[in-house]
Amino acid sequence: MNDAARLRTIENVTANFFFWQGLRWVPLGIALMTAALRPRIEVGLLVLIAAMFVSMRVGKYYSRAYGRVRTITARTERRERWKWSFVYPMMMVSLAVDLLWKPPVVVSGPVWAAAILLYWNSTGRGRLHYLFIAAIVAATGALPLAGIPNGKNAINFFFAVIGAVYVIGGLLDHFELTRIMRPVMEDGDAGTV
Amino acid sequence: MPAPFEEIADLDRLVHEPARLSILTALSACRNADFLFLQRLTGLTKGNLSAHLSKLEEAELVSIDKGYAGKVPTTQIALTRSGRAAIDRHWKRLEKLRSAALEWQPES
- Report the alpha-carbon distance of residue B52 to residue B41 in Å, rounded: 14
Tell me which residue in B31, B35, B40 faces A71 most closely, judged by beta carbons: B31
Residue A90: other Cβ atoms inside 10 A: 15
Those residues of chain B that have pLDDT short of 70 are 1-10, 108
Decide if B75 and A70 are in contact by the 8 Å CB cutoff.
no
User: Which chain B residues are Cβ-neighbours of A1 within 8 angstroms?
Assistant: none
The DSSP code sequence of B19-86 is HHHHHHHHHHTSSEEEHHHHHHHHT--HHHHHHHHHHHHHTTSEEEEEEEETTEEEEEEEE-HHHHHH
Q: Which of A17-26, A181-190, B95-104 has the highest mean pLDDT?
A: A17-26
Give residue ranges of B with CB < 8 Å to any A CB.
18, 21-22, 25-47, 49-50, 53-54, 57, 64, 66, 72-75, 77
pLDDT of residue B101: 79
What is the topology classification, in CATH, of domain B4-94? Arc Repressor Mutant, subunit A (1.10.10)
Task: Say which amino acid occupies B67.
Answer: G
- pLDDT over 60 at A130, yes or no: yes
| Distance from the B83 Cα atom to the nearest Cα atom in chain A, whole angstroms | 16
- pLDDT over 70 at A69, yes or no: yes
Q: Where are the domains of chain B?
A: 4-94
pTM across the whole model: 0.87
pLDDT of residue B104: 76
- Report the alpha-carbon distance of residue A114 to residue A22 in Å, rounded: 20
Per-residue pLDDT of A136-164, as tens digits, reads: 999 999 988 888 776 678 888 999 999 99
Residue B105: other Cβ atoms inside 10 A: 6
pLDDT of residue B20: 95
pLDDT of residue A71: 94
Whether residue B31 contacts residue A72, with contact meaning beta carbons closer than 8 Å, is answered with: yes
pLDDT of residue A190: 46
Whether residue A109 contacts residue A134, with contact meaning beta carbons closer than 8 Å, is answered with: no
Residue A99: other Cβ atoms inside 10 A: 11
- Strand-pair partners of B62: B79
Decide if B40 and A66 are in contact by the 8 Å CB cutoff.
yes
Tell me which residue in A11, A180, A189 faces B25 most closely, judged by beta carbons: A11
- Report the alpha-carbon distance of residue A93 to residue A100 in Å, rounded: 10
- Strand-pair partners of B33: A69, B77
A49: exposed, middle or buried (C-beta count within 10 Å: 0-12, 13-18, 19+)? exposed
A179: exposed, middle or buried (C-beta count within 10 Å: 0-12, 13-18, 19+)? exposed
Burial state string for B28-47 with b = 16 or more CB within 10 A and e = fewer than 16: bbbebbbbbbbbbbbbbebe
The mean pLDDT value for A124-135 works out to: 94
| Distance from the A82 Cα atom to the nearest Cα atom in chain B, whole angstroms | 20
- pLDDT over 70 at A188, yes or no: no
Name which residue leads in pLDDT, A32 or A188: A32
A14 touches chain B (CB under 8 A): yes
Sign of CA dihedral A57, A58, A59, A65: positive
Report the complex ipTM. Answer: 0.86
Please, what is the average pLDDT of chain A? 90
| Distance from the B1 Cα atom to the nearest Cα atom in chain A, whole angstroms | 26
Q: Is residue A88 within a helix (H) or strand (E), and if so which, with residue range?
A: helix A88-100
- pLDDT over 80 at A83, yes or no: yes
- Would you give the end-to-end CA distance of chain B in angstroms? 15
- Report the alpha-carbon distance of residue B18 to residue A11 in Å, rounded: 14
| Distance from the A1 Cα atom to the nearest Cα atom in chain B, whole angstroms | 14
- Report the alpha-carbon distance of residue A36 to residue A62 in Å, rounded: 29
The mean pLDDT value for A1-22 works out to: 90
| Distance from the A179 Cα atom to the nearest Cα atom in chain B, whole angstroms | 10
Decide if A11 and B26 are in contact by the 8 Å CB cutoff.
yes
User: Which chain B residues are Cβ-neighbours of A183 within 8 angstroms?
Assistant: 40
User: Which chain B residues are Cβ-neighbours of A2 within 8 angstroms?
Assistant: none
Decide if B46 and A184 are in contact by the 8 Å CB cutoff.
yes
Whether residue A49 contacts residue B17, with contact meaning beta carbons closer than 8 Å, is answered with: no
pLDDT of residue A189: 47
A65, A112, A191, B84 from B76: Cα distances, Å: 16, 38, 10, 16
Tell me which residue in A10, A12, A193 faces B22 most closely, judged by beta carbons: A10
Whether residue B32 contacts residue B62, with contact meaning beta carbons closer than 8 Å, is answered with: no
- Strand-pair partners of B78: B63
